[in-house]
Amino acid sequence: DREYLALLRRLREQAEKEFRKRDGEFVDFLPEPKEQLLK
């Protein structure tokens, strides 16, 4: 269902923003960008 997939994508983007806000300092220590880890 395309609507469902779009909703999931939107929720994941929202979660990514939240993670970035919360773990901004932590992300700097990761060897790769968080986007790659989430895929």
**Which tokens go with 22?**
């919360």
Residue 18's nearest CA partner among 5, 31, 27 is 27
Summarize pLDDT for 1-39 with one digit per residue, the tens.
899 999 999 998 888 887 776 666 555 666 665 565 555
The pLDDT value recorded for residue 18 is 78
The pLDDT value recorded for residue 16 is 80
The pLDDT value recorded for residue 8 is 92
Q: Is 19:34 a contact under the CB 8 Å cutoff?
A: yes
- DSSP secondary structure string for all residues of 4-34: HHHHHHHHHHHHHHHHHHHTHHHHTTSSS-H
The pLDDT value recorded for residue 27 is 57
Q: Where are the domains of the chain?
A: 2-38
Catalogue the long-range contacts made by 11-19 (C-beta closer than 8 Å, 24 or more residues apart): 12/38
